[in-house]
Chain A
Amino acid sequence: MGEFVVLATDACLFALLGVGLVYWAIARRHEHLRAPWREVWARPAAAGAAVVLAAFVAIALADSLHFEARGEEEGDLVSLLDLALAPLREHTETSYSAPFATQAYARETRRTAEGQVRREYPRLAYGGAHLAEPAQRATDLARRASAGVMLGLAIFALPLLVAAGRERRRHGGLAAALLAIARGRTRGPWRSVLGVTAVLALLVGLSAAIAPYYHVLGTDKVGTDVLYQALKSVRTGILIGSLTTLLSLPFALALGVAAGYFRGPVDDAVQYLYTTLSSIPGVLLIAAAALLLDVHMSRHAEAFDSLAARADLRLLALCGILGLTSWTSLCRLLRAEALKLREIEYVAAAQALGARAPAIIRRHLLPNVMHIVMITTVLDFSSLVLAEAALTYIDIGVDPSMESWGNMINAARLELAREPAVWWSLVAALGFMFTLVLAANLFADAVRDAFDPRLRRLGVDAAGLAESPVR
C-alpha cells in the first residue's frame, strides 16, 4: 500500500461523519433530542431502513480511504473498498457478458487449429474460467452457493447473539430471548433489524463465495464487473445526497433565521436573494453552472493532479451547485419559522431579561428550528440521489469517468435495444439506487413523524370521520 491521499470529497465525508458523531454525543445528553430518535428507532420499518443505510454508509466510507496504488497501477488511486474487492476489480473481460456467464455475450470469429474460421461464443477470461466445461456450472454454482449461505449464516450469528444477549435478562434465558425476537415481542425493534441484517449477511456471504469466480451481475461494454461498478457508485450517491445539504445548510440557516428575527432590510435582502435564485429553473441553473465548470476545467487542465482529483472536484462542485438551488426552500421555511418564533412569549421574556440578539438566536431560535433542518436533510437525501441519475443523463451530472448509477444507466440504456437485451447494468444500477432511496425514504418518514410537532398531533386530536368505538 502506498501513501494516503485525501481527496476533497473524502475530507468532506469524514467531516460529515464527525459532525454526526458530535451531534450524537450532544443528543445523548439532551432528552428533547433523544426522545424523537427513540421514536424513530421504535418504528420497525425505520430501524430496518437504518441498517440498510448503515451498510451503504460503511461502503461509502471504505471507499473514501484512498491510497496511491503500487505495482502495475502505479499512480492510480485505490481505496480500502478496492482492496477488499480486488478480485472483482481485476477480473476484467473484454466486453459484455451476462450474469453468471462463462462465455461472452457476443460471438467472435476464431480460427481453429484445423484452420477453419468459426463464429463462436468465446470463454471468458475469469467468469467460470476454473471450470473445465461450461456444463459443470450448475453444480459448481450450487456448491459455492451453499458455502456462501453457510458463510452468511456465520456472519449473521454475531449480531443475533449480541441481540439475544441484550434481551436475555428480560426474557429469562437465551432461548426465550430468541423466541421473543422471532415473535417481535422485544422492546427494541430487533426482529426487523435482524431480518434486514440476515438478508445483508446472506448477500455478503453469497457474493464472497461466488463473485471471485463468476460475474454475479455480468460485465459491461469494456468488460468491467457490474457488481464492482454498482458498489463503487454507492459512494457517489451517498456523497451527493448528504454533502449537498451540508454545503448549503450554513447559508440557509444563517440567512433564514436572521431574516425572520431581524425583519426589516435584512429580511428584504434575504427574500430578494432567495426569490431571485429560486425563480431560475433549477435544472437550467445547474446546467449552466456545469457547462461553465466544464469549460473552466478544460481550459485549466494543468491545475489538477490526476483525473481522479479532477472528477472529484467536479463532484464537489456539483454538490455545491445542487446546494445553491436547494437552499432557497429551506431558507424560506426557516425564515417563516423564525418569524413565528420571534413573536412567541419566551422570546419576549428573554428580551425583557435583557438578553442580546445573538444570545436569543442561539438559545431560543436555533434549537427550535433544528427539527426543520433535520427533516429537510433526510427528506432531500433521496431526491438528490435520484436527481444524480437524471442530471447525468443530460450530461450535467458527475464526471463520466466516475462510477455512478447515473453513468451506469446512461451507458446501458441504449443496449436494451440489442437482441438479446443487455439488461444487467441497468437493473443493477436501478436496483441499488432503489434500495438506497427506499431505505432513505422509510427512514425519512419516521424522522419527519418524530420531529414535526404538527404531524405528531395529526390523527390524535381528530375524531376524523369514525364513530367513537364502543367497547
Chain B
Amino acid sequence: MNAPAVPLLEIEGLRVEFGAPEAPLVAVDDLHLRIERGETLVLVGESGSGKSLTALAVTRLLPAAARIGGGRVRLDGEDLFALPAAAMTAVRGRRIGFVFQEPQVALNPVMRIGDQIGEVMQRHLDLRGAALRARVVEALRAVGIPEPERRAREYPHQYSGGMKQRAMIAIALAGEPDLLIADEPTTALDVTLQAQILELLQAEQRRRGMGMLFITHDFGVAWQVADRVAVLKAGRLVESAPREVFYRAPRHAYSKALFAALPRLERRARPAVSAASPLLEVRDLSVEFPIRKGVFRRIVDRVRAVDGVSLSIAEGETLAVVGESGSGKTTMGRGILRLLPLAGGSVRFRGEDLARLSESALRRRRRHLQIVFQDSYAAMNPRMLVGDIVAEGMVAQGIGGSRAGRAARVAELLAQVGLAPEHAARYPHEFSGGQRQRICIARALAVDPKLIVCDEPTSALDVSVQAQILDLLRYLQQRLGLSFLFITHNLGVVAELAHRVAVMHRGRIVEQGPVDEVLFAPAHEYTRQLLAAVPKIP
C-alpha cells in the first residue's frame, strides 16, 4: 500500500472568529479543503459566506477584528499556524502568491510598479541590480504589459484597470510561488477584461504547475477556471466536487437553488408590448463634461460622455441598456432625468420635451420619472427613518394628503415591495442589501411614476437576492403597467427581464432591438465581442 501523497495545501477544520472570545461570532466553521499541485480549486459563495476570510486565514492576514479560532493549514505538510511570525514572512510571497480583488487599492500608489514587483524578488530570490531589473521587465512582459521597460518605471495611476490587475498578478508570481490565491481577481473588471485575466491566470498556472485557490461568486467564472469546485455557505462547506460532476448535477439543495437563481443568457417567450405611441422618446441626447485649462480655467474642450443617443420606451416596456464601465450608460440615465445638465437633444415624455422645461415646471413632472440606484447604501440618507425616506417624494410633490394619509400609503408601499409596515420605524442600515433595494423601489413608487430608470439595481446583490428583485420588478410592471429603463452590464439579466435592448459603447448606442435579435444574432462587432467574453455555463 502506498502512503497517500502530501497535498500542496490542506485545510483541516479551519475556524475564523470575530468578537469576544466568550461569545464569538463564527465566520468560518470546521472547513476542510485540499489542493494538489497543478490543481485549481474554486471556492464559490455569496457575500458573507467566509470565502475571502478563508483565503486570508491561510496566509494569516485576517483583519484585526478577526482571529483564527482553530484548525490547521498545511502547506506541503508544514503547519502554517505553528510557524513563528518571521518564518511566516518567508512563506508569504515566496510559496504563496496572493492576488487581491481591487488592483485600484491594493497597489501602493506612490511606488513604481517595477519596484513593487522588484521588492518581492529582492526579498525572496535575493536578486539585486541589473539582474533584478531584467527579471522585473521579464515578469511584466510575461503578464502581457506592452513596453515593459518603460512601464516598469510608471506608477499605478498611469495604468488602466486591466493593466493594474496584470501588474498585481506579476507581483503575486514574482516569488515563483507553489500556490496562488486569487480572491475575486476579476470582479472589479469588465467582462472583456475579465476574459483576458482569466486566460492569463490559467496559462501561468499551467506553465508553472502551481496550485490555485480561486475565489469567486460567479458560477460562470468558476466553470472557466476550476478543476474542482467547493461551495461555501455561512462559513460552512456545503459541497465539494470535480467541476464536471458539480455542474452536471449539484447535490446540495443550496447549490441547486443558486443555479436556479442564475440569470441565463437564453431565448425565452416574452410578452409582446403594444408599440402604439411611445411613453418616452429620446432624440440625439448629449451630455458633455467640460475640460478646463490655462490661467483662467477657460473651457478648452468637452468630453462627450453621451453622444447623440436616441431611444424610445413604450408603456409597460423594459428597455435594457448594456455596456461596460465608462460607456456612458449611467450618465445617459441621469441625463434623461435631467439630474445632469444636457448638452443637446430632446427628451419627450408623452410628447412634452422635458429638456426645454424650466426648473419649476420640471419639478412637477418629476413624479412620472423615477430612479433606483445600484448602491442602496448611498441611495438612502442614513439619518432618516425608512418611513420618512419612502414618504419623501410625497412631501416634495405635495401629494398623499395628511401625515396620517402618507403613513398609510407608506405602509401600503412597503407591503407592495414585500416588507412589513413596521419597518417604517427603522433605519436603513438595519436592513440587508436586498431589503434596502426594496425600500428604494418603494420610495420611487410613492409618487406613482410611469417610468423608472433602474441603474444597475442588482449588481451589488448576490444572485439569489438578484433573482428576487428581478421578480419584484416584473411583478410591479404587470401590476402597475410601469416602464423600465434598465441599465446593466449583465447580459444574463437582460435576457431575463428586458423586451428590447440597446448596446452602448463610448457614449453611443451601437445596436438596439428586440432582446432575442440583439443577443442571439448580433449585428455589431462590439456586441459580438461582449457576448463572446461572457463566461458560459454548460
A residues adjacent to B (C-beta < 8 A): 30-32, 344-346, 348-356, 359, 363-364, 367-368, 459-464, 466-471
Contacts and interface: CB of A to CB of B under 8 A. Distances in A.
With most chain B CB atoms within 10 A of its CB, the pick from A30, A348, A359, A464 is A348
B359 to A, nearest CB: 10
B364 interface: yes
A36 to B, nearest CB: 11
Interface in B434-482: 440, 443, 447
A368 B381 CA distance: 8
B369 interface: yes
Given A349-B371, A352-B366, 10 more contacts: A346-B379, A349-B380, A349-B440, A352-B339, A353-B370, A354-B367, A467-B88, A468-B67, A470-B81, A471-B70
B64 A345 contact: no
Contacts of B384: 363, 367
B363 interface: yes
A469 B371 CA distance: 46
B154 interface: no
Nearest to B366: A354
Contact of B64 (A32, A354, A359, A459): A459
B347 to A, nearest CB: 14
Contacts of A364: 381
B157 to A, nearest CB: 21
B339 A359 contact: no
Given A349-B373, A356-B363, A468 B381 contact: no
Given A352-B366, A367-B383, A345 B375 contact: yes
A470 B379 contact: no
A179 B427 CA distance: 38
Contact of B382 (A32, A352, A356, A460): A32
Given A354-B393, A356-B363, A356-B396, A471 B21 contact: yes
Given A352-B369, A354-B397, A355-B392, A344 B61 contact: no
B88 A350 contact: no
A460 B383 CA distance: 23
B67 A359 contact: no
Contacts of B334: 348
A354 B81 CA distance: 58
Contacts of A363: 381, 384, 392
B396 A355 contact: yes
Given A345-B379, A468-B68, A353 B63 contact: no
With most chain B CB atoms within 10 A of its CB, the pick from A344, A345, A364 is A345
Contacts of A466: 64
Contact of B381 (A346, A354, A462, A471): A346
With most chain B CB atoms within 10 A of its CB, the pick from A32, A348, A349 is A349
B298 to A, nearest CB: 16
A463 B371 contact: no
B61 A468 contact: yes
Name B's interface SS.
Answer: mixed
A460 B381 contact: no
A453 to B, nearest CB: 9
A420 B365 CA distance: 84
B337 interface: yes
A53 to B, nearest CB: 26
With most chain B CB atoms within 10 A of its CB, the pick from A351, A353, A464 is A353
A463 B370 CA distance: 42
Given A31-B427, A353-B393, A460 B367 contact: no
B127 interface: no
A353 B392 contact: yes
A368 B373 CA distance: 20
Given A344-B378, A350-B392, A352-B369, A464 B64 contact: yes
A348 B372 CA distance: 10
B63 A460 contact: yes
A464 B380 CA distance: 32
A355 B398 CA distance: 10
Contacts of A353: 366-367, 370, 392-393, 396-397, 443, 447
With most chain A CB atoms within 10 A of its CB, the pick from B85, B334, B373 is B373
Interface in B1-58: 17, 21, 56-57
With most chain B CB atoms within 10 A of its CB, the pick from A363, A464, A466, A468 is A468
B62 interface: yes
B241 to A, nearest CB: 30
B531 interface: no
Nearest to A355: B396
Nearest to A467: B85
Nearest to A351: B339
B60 interface: yes
Nearest first, the 3 closest Cβ-Cβ pairs linking A and B are A353-B393, A354-B366, A355-B396
A356 B427 CA distance: 23
16 contacts: A345-B375, A345-B379, A348-B339, A352-B337, A353-B447, A354-B397, A359-B396, A368-B382, A368-B383, A463-B56, A466-B64, A468-B57, A468-B62, A468-B66, A468-B67, A471-B68
Given A344-B378, A356-B363, A350 B396 contact: yes
A333 to B, nearest CB: 18
A345 B61 contact: no
B65 interface: yes
Contacts of A463: 56, 61-64
A28 to B, nearest CB: 15
Contacts of A345: 373, 375, 378-379
Interface string B387-404: 000001101110000000
A306 to B, nearest CB: 47
B204 to A, nearest CB: 26
B69 interface: yes
A42 B274 CA distance: 63
